[in-house]
Structure 1
Amino acid sequence: MNVVFNFNDDLTSHKPLEYSYICSIIMEQKFYKYQGTGNDFVMIDNRLQTFDKNNTKLIASLCDRRFGIGGDGLILLENHNSLDFKMVYYNADGNESTMCGNGGRCLVAFAKHLEIIKNKATFEAVDGLHNATIKDDIVSLQMQDVDTVNTYKTHVFLNTGSPHHVQFEDDIANFDIRTKGAKIRYGAPYHTEGTNVNFVKKLSDNAFRVRTYERGVEGETLSCGTGVTAVAIAMHVLNETSNTTVDLKVEGGTLQVSFNVEDGIYKNVWLIGPAKFVFEGTI
């Protein structure tokens, strides 16, 4: 699908500031939209360094679902001196953020579309190097090793490229994730820096349902790649599963996380699932 957004003077004069702001900053910007289990992203090929990366207001406007393109985040694909490409990720609030697992998987699919890669990739993200493979719509992304998992009476906390709070919730289907998630995200000990918050219900020995409140989006997303990675590792630490390949059912579908454990360190961690093109356009 190809979509062209045209904002003329008559239209922008009757719309909120976001429309006028976008039009005043960029005359024309080619973009692509990708999603991984419902976690969606605005993708921009920035190999020529034409996009204003420091303009947080512009990025937030492009991610706005009512007055822009719409997305949980915006990702720039850039050149790298020695690797296939570089990933620069922004939350929907316009601020550059920590690693996004589903975003990384979608960027691999985007790189293949641009013919930068074929079936394998090595790229740099904010948390370091990542390897990936792609076959049809399935992208497998190698995440960073995890050597520290903090367990508490009520929850588990760990960093899988982004910080994640993990806790059980029995009535997960009817849970008020926005209210409860925000309370944890801004509460002690996280405060200003904040954390992503994952609520988990065990379905079987190797399957768990997950709902995630994401910081930067400030609400629930249909899927969170670093979140399900954190959940899979947390469930293994808590002995809720003995499997090293775990299925995670999210609101937007199903993801899989596999890993090895050596001396308490989680290595060879892979996030696996679909990454699909939605549409492209010019704004």
Structure 2
Amino acid sequence: MNLQQKLLFYKYQGTGNDFVLIDNRNDFFSKNDTRLIKFLCDRRFGIGADGLILLENDKVSDFKMIYYNSDGNQSTMCGNGGRCIVAFAKLLDIIDSKTVFSAIDGLHHAAINGSVVSLQMIDVHEINSRRKHFFLNTGSPHHVQIVSNLDTLAVHQEGAKIRYGIYGEEGSNINFVDQVDSETFNIRTYERGVEGETLSCGTGVTAVALAMHKNNNTKSDKVNIVTRGGKLQVTFTLENNSYTNVRLIGEATLVFKGEIRC
């Protein structure tokens, strides 16, 4: 983009996980400009967000979602971002109450009712159990670990230690969990790409719900997850040791609309 060009953007949040959304159906945005994307996500010099999302035309679905972490690099699927882009598509009159859209991990079905978005996530066929944690991919890679000191845990330090120490440069998102009751869990998440704790992570919430079910911490197929940014629900069906019809459900709301010179 040219220096000092005005960029129209929309700021959305889903349980405190916040995103800059841009309508790129005219394909004007410089998608390989890591510096620009990092600037727009910067909380002091730019708009401020955990990530940036482009909405684009797609030949096989209602629209395409392209997601970037706040470090400026394109990343894997973002569940809360997926819910926010559905709300954005509704605002732009691209969809009504139901949609199918394309993301980096394939097609996603979703429904929107008011501010609540129900987003179908990918099926999960494998959950790797380790001595102290679980590992699975819910569109993005996730480490899930039960802890007893969640409120006081130094998530940034401990998350970074595991993210690099176990998973190397490619990394993984790191989720710390404690159980509230038979259907409810508290979580805190360190996100790669953001390289710090976020208030919520949709694929992380999904990973925690499935891992806790796999480990018999819950028998329910409707799991409530409490993040630092709010409450989400994950529903699913267990078929032949695979988790199918996985849905991430919660509010996604417009914060503000604006223009920025960049």
TM class by smaller structure:
over 0.9
2:37 is the counterpart of 1:41 = no
Kindly provide the amino acid, as one letter, of the partner of residue 162 in structure 1. S
Alpha-carbon separation, structure 1, partners of 2:3 and 2:65: 23
More helix by share: 1
What is the deviation of 1:26? 4.9
Kindly provide the amino acid, as one letter, of the partner of residue 262 in structure 1. E
Which of 259, 272, 281 is the aligned partner of 2:236? 259
| Higher Rg of the two aligned structures | 1
For residues 200-249 of structure 1, give each alpha carbon's deviation from its aligned partner in whole angstroms, at most 9, with x where no partner exists. Answer: 00000000000000000000000000001000000001000000000000
Alpha-carbon separation, structure 2, partners of 1:57 and 1:187: 28
Which of 165, 173, 176 is the aligned partner of 1:196? 173
Alpha-carbon separation, structure 2, partners of 1:30 and 1:169: 43
Q: Root-mean-square deviation (CA), in Å?
A: 0.9
- In structure 1, the gaps of 5 or more residues are 1-21
Match of 1:250 in 2: 227
Q: Report the TM-score, using the length of structure 1 for normalisation.
A: 0.91
Q: Figure out how many residues of one structure are paired with residues of the other and give that number.
A: 260
Alpha-carbon separation, structure 2, partners of 1:143 and 1:151: 21
Which of 143, 146, 153 is the aligned partner of 1:175? 153
Which of 27, 46, 51 is the aligned partner of 2:29? 51
Match of 1:163 in 2: 141
For residues 113-152 of structure 1, give each alpha carbon's deviation from its aligned partner in whole angstroms, at most 9, with x where no partner exists. Answer: 0000010110000000000000000000000000010001
2:203 is the counterpart of 1:226 = yes
Alpha-carbon separation, structure 2, partners of 1:25 and 1:149: 47
Q: How does 1:98-247 map to 2 (within 5 A)?
A: 98-188=76-166, 190-247=167-224
Alpha-carbon separation, structure 1, partners of 2:195 and 2:69: 10
What is the deviation of 1:25? 3.6
For residues 36-88 of structure 1, give each alpha carbon's deviation from its aligned partner in whole angstroms, at most 9, with x where no partner exists. Answer: 00000000000000000000111000000001000000000000113110000
For residues 249-275 of structure 1, give each alpha carbon's deviation from its aligned partner in whole angstroms, at most 9, with x where no partner exists. Answer: 000000000000011000000000000
For residues 81-107 of structure 1, give each alpha carbon's deviation from its aligned partner in whole angstroms, at most 9, with x where no partner exists. Answer: 131100000000000000000000000
% identical aligned pairs: 60
- In structure 2, the gaps of 5 or more residues are none
For residues 154-199 of structure 1, give each alpha carbon's deviation from its aligned partner in whole angstroms, at most 9, with x where no partner exists. Answer: 10000000000000111111110000000001112x1010000000
Kindly provide the amino acid, as one letter, of the partner of residue 258 in structure 2. G
For residues 3-49 of structure 1, give each alpha carbon's deviation from its aligned partner in whole angstroms, at most 9, with x where no partner exists. Answer: xxxxxxxxxxxxxxxxxxx9x64511000000000000000000000
Match of 2:253 in 1: 276
Alpha-carbon separation, structure 1, partners of 2:59 and 2:145: 41
Match of 1:7 in 2: none
Alpha-carbon separation, structure 2, partners of 1:237 and 1:134: 29
Alpha-carbon separation, structure 1, partners of 2:252 and 2:72: 23
Q: How does 1:89-104 map to 2 (within 5 A)?
A: 89-104=67-82
